[in-house]
Amino acid sequence: MELNSNEPTGPIEKRWDKHRFDMKLVNPANKRKFSVIMVGTGLAGGAAAASMGELGYHVKAFCYQDSARRAHSIAAQGGINAAKNYQNDGDSVFRLFYDTVKGGDFRSRESNVYRLAQMSVNIIDQCTAQGVPFAREYGGLLANRSFGGAQVSRTFYARGQTGQQLLLGAYQALARQVKAGTVDLNTRTEMLDVIIIDGVARGIVTRDMVTGAIESHLADCVVLATGGYGNVFFLSTNAKGCNTTATWRAHRNGAAFANPCYTQIHPTCIPVAGDYQSKLTLMSESLRNDGRVWVPKNAEDVTKDPGTIAESDRDYYLERRYPAFGNLVPRDIASRAAKHSCDDGLGVGPEVGGQRRGVYLDFEDAISRLGQKAIAERYGNLFEMYERITGDNPYKTPMRIYPASHYTMGGLWVDYNLMTTVPGLFAGGEANFSDHGANRLGASALMQGLSDGYFVLPYTVGNYLARTGHEEISDDHQEVRAAVERVETRMKKLLDAPNPSRTPDSFHRELGQLVWDNCGMSRNAANLEKAIERIPELREEFWDTIMVPGSGDDMNQTLEKAGRVADFLELGELMCRDALNRDESCGAHFREEHQTEDGEAKRNDEDFTYAAAWEYTGDLSAPKLHKEHLSFEYVQPSQRSYK
């Protein structure tokens, strides 16, 4: 396996233009002949499918929900970045590029990040033209807010429903193409394997979730836009159906998986309330613009009504430790700081599993400064959501928050064209590893999904098709039949375990806890080794005792879950191996062995300025590491400091 980033050279601001010019174009009359499989119709896949359908390609799109409108992108609350500089506060494409490279702790590819910053501007134009109702000022122009540590106001938003509105824009564009007959949309259809013929991705195997039918679909290339793997932790802010199945199956078929240990833990989520907890709810990070984070200074106060704790007995620990950025420090820093406070016995809220895991996010000052109305206008729906879930009213008593798994920077390794190490297999959106390095800045995932979907994939996939040409493949090609058989055999194994006695959720919870404890916010070699030993055992128990009542011939949600958990059980080990290999702290990856005296992450640029791309070797416990060395021409690596 060889990693070639295929980045263009020359001045960074010209690279994408130059690259596009060098691309081969498909003759418009020929476009219809080419078919593209698009797995996933979230922001990345929906935008790409719509744009490619519009260009005249024949697109076959797939998603597991009943409608493309329900992809997990719908849940994004806070906003989307763009270097428009509408606020005249000194923003520019270069600044967004700079912030993203620095935010990613110098573990991303400069060329990709620069392109992302460039495309950000077009995204806002595109979405506005579609009718996305971004927030506006009284003068009628678009409003912005500052978000997640950015010192400029470059985040566009639609109340607390930015992801919803952007996704509806992409979904509507997709609907238009479905109507036009260029996109053939298959909902409630789960991709379970990739079909590779002569080393090239040519199709997928799916299961119709309503009828249970296992089917093959063939095309000239395959694009995966299937989202992130944050649900490996069981508890996360992701939708319940989010999974690694598509990306993991691709990995098992030869696609390198990059930086799996880079997982983002979001600092502002509603804490776990009990052991029945099924998911965690994000409270948008924008809340940190006006909310102040604190814990009691004294352990005796943790059970007290927060209103009765005197100002002098509160520790506004972020403001204290990071005076320049205060409550707006990047996510990884805010998350670890919350963990430390709770580990020190200063956490608040109910005790679950022997510890209080919660810190206060307090709006009292903001309400007295700006008035309840202004706060309601900014965060009203979030406050309501919080009250619905917890029963507490955040206008009156501080919110309680705790970090939770939220986003995965790791994913399928892709080159500048977003192609994986398997020719003809592309990955876009959260499913790939590109752009965010070791840590993603707030409001940048929506930007990346839409940049990949609207503006990058339609070009790079077209270029690939123009260069490779079209060759017919029949459904009974031996590789097609083999892939279908692989899937059928696996279904049978899940339905007929030798000693069925444990449910998919019980395995998922156990795996999730194991990975959270050992490969979560804070990691060390001893713990990682422990997890690496335990996960294969758990996998064995899984295949021996997994219990899936019902059959594979109709709708069976337990079977769907079991298949996804089986893949998480494999990915979880790779995450830990990657975390163990990366013997440094960087971004969201914090190795306890590598910290400064005051507990800040210590990078090791000399040995680790690379993306770790893992190749599947046939033995899950012996993956092969390939390194893509990263070079920084435009932003000089420096120790991140938010002091």
Partner 1 sequence: MSTIDLKLHIWRQKGPSDEGRYVEYAVPGVSVHMSFLEMLDVLNEGLLEKGEEAVTFDHDCREGICGACSMVINGVPHGPQKLTTTCQLHMRQFENGPFELWVEPFRATAFPVEKDLMVDRTAFDRIIESGGYVSIRTGSATDANETPIRKQDSDLAMDAAACIGCAACVAACPNASASLFTAAKISHLALLPQGQPERYDRVRKMVAQMDAEGFGGCTNHEECEAACPKGISVSNIARMNRDMLRAMLTAEDTVNVPGGE
What residues make contact with ligand FAD under the rule CB under 6 A? 39-45, 62-65, 71-73, 75-80, 162-163, 190-191, 225-228, 237-238, 242-243, 245-246, 282, 406-407, 429-431, 443-446, 449
* Residue 182 C-beta: closest distance to partner 1, Å: 12
Q: Which is nearer to partner 1, 122 or 604 (CB)?
A: 122
For 225, the token pair is 């836009």
Binding site partner of 421, from partner 1, ligand FAD, none, Cβ cut-off 5-8 A by kind: none
What is the H or E stretch that residue 293 is in?
A: strand 292-296
Q: Which CB sits closer to partner 1, 130 or 468?
A: 130
- Asked if 353 is part of the footprint of partner 1 (rule: CB under 8 A), the reply reads no
The pair of structure tokens assigned to 246 is 């598509």
**Chain centroid, CA 504 distance in Å:** 23
Distance CA 381, CA 387 (A): 10
Q: Which of 331, 357, 539, 582 is catalytic?
A: 331
Question: Strand 183-186 relative to strand 189-197: parallel, antiparallel, unpaired?
Answer: unpaired
Q: Catalytic annotation on 331?
A: yes
Of the candidates 568, 504, 512, which has an alpha carbon nearest to the alpha carbon of residue 229?
568
Per-residue exposure over 164-194, b if at least 16 CB sit within 10 Å of its own CB, e if not: bbbbbbbbbbbbebbeeebbbbbbbbbbbbb
Give the H or E element holding residue 614: strand 610-615
Q: What is the torsional sign of CA 23, 24, 30, 34? A: negative
Angle at 264 between CA 244 and CA 237, to 5 degrees: 65
State in angstroms the smallest separation of the CB of 619 from partner 1.
32
Nearer to ligand FAD, 134 or 608 (CB): 134
Nearer to partner 1, 181 or 618 (CB): 181
Query: Residue 437 has which token pair?
Result: 């390095």
Question: Which residues from 12-51 bind partner 1, rule CB under 8 A?
Answer: 47, 50-51
- If one asks whether residue 402 binds partner 1 (CB under 8 A), the answer comes out as no
131 belongs to the binding site for partner 1 (CB under 8 A) = yes
Partner interacting with residue 62 (select from ligand FAD, partner 1, none; CB below 5-8 Å by kind): ligand FAD
- Which structure tokens are listed for 476? 């009974």
Residue 205 site contact among partner 1, ligand FAD, none (CB < 5 to 8 Å, cut-off depends on kind): none
Nearer to ligand FAD, 237 or 585 (CB): 237
Near partner 1 by CB under 8 A, which window of 15-23, 126-134, 330-338, 406-414?
Answer: 126-134
The site partner of 265 among ligand FAD, partner 1, none (C-beta below 5 to 8 Å per kind) is none
**65 near 171, Cβ under 8 Å?**
no
CA distance 279 to 236: 6
Partner in contact with 136, chosen from ligand FAD, partner 1, none, beta carbon below 5 to 8 Å by kind: partner 1
Q: How far apart are CA 526 and CA 520, in angstroms?
A: 14
Taking the least distance from each CB to ligand FAD, the nearer of 59 and 580 is 59
Per CB under 8 A, 164 contacts partner 1: yes
CA distances from 39 to 404, 467, 618 (A): 27, 22, 25
CA 462, 435, 72, 620 torsion: positive or negative? positive
* Residue 512 binds which of ligand FAD, partner 1, none (CB < 5-8 A, kind-dependent): none
Strand-pair category, 624-629 with 610-615: antiparallel
- Size of interface with partner 1, in residues (CB under 8 A): 80
Radius of gyration of the chain (CA): 24
506 secondary structure, DSSP code? H
Q: How far is the CB of 200 from partner 1 (least distance, A)?
A: 27
Question: Residue 179 or residue 629: which is nearer to partner 1 going by CB?
Answer: 179
Is residue 385 near partner 1 by the rule CB under 8 A? yes
Residue 456-485 contact track with partner 1, rule CB under 8 A, x = bound: --x---------------------------
Mapping DSSP onto H, E and C, the string for 426-454 reads EECHHHECCCCCCCCCCCCHHHHHHHHHH
Closer to ligand FAD by CB, 254 or 449: give it.
449
Q: Does 547 bind partner 1 (CB under 8 A)?
A: yes
In angstroms, what is the minimal distance from the CB of 72 to ligand FAD? 3
- Site for partner 1 contains 81 (CB under 8 A): no
The mark string for 491-530 relative to partner 1 (x by CB under 8 A, - otherwise) is: ---------x--x-xx------------------------
CB of 181 to partner 1, least distance (A): 11
d(CA 43, CA 452): 9
Nearest distance, CB of residue 618 and partner 1, angstroms: 33
Phi, psi of 303 (to 5 degrees): -95, 0
- Active-site residues, by number, are 331
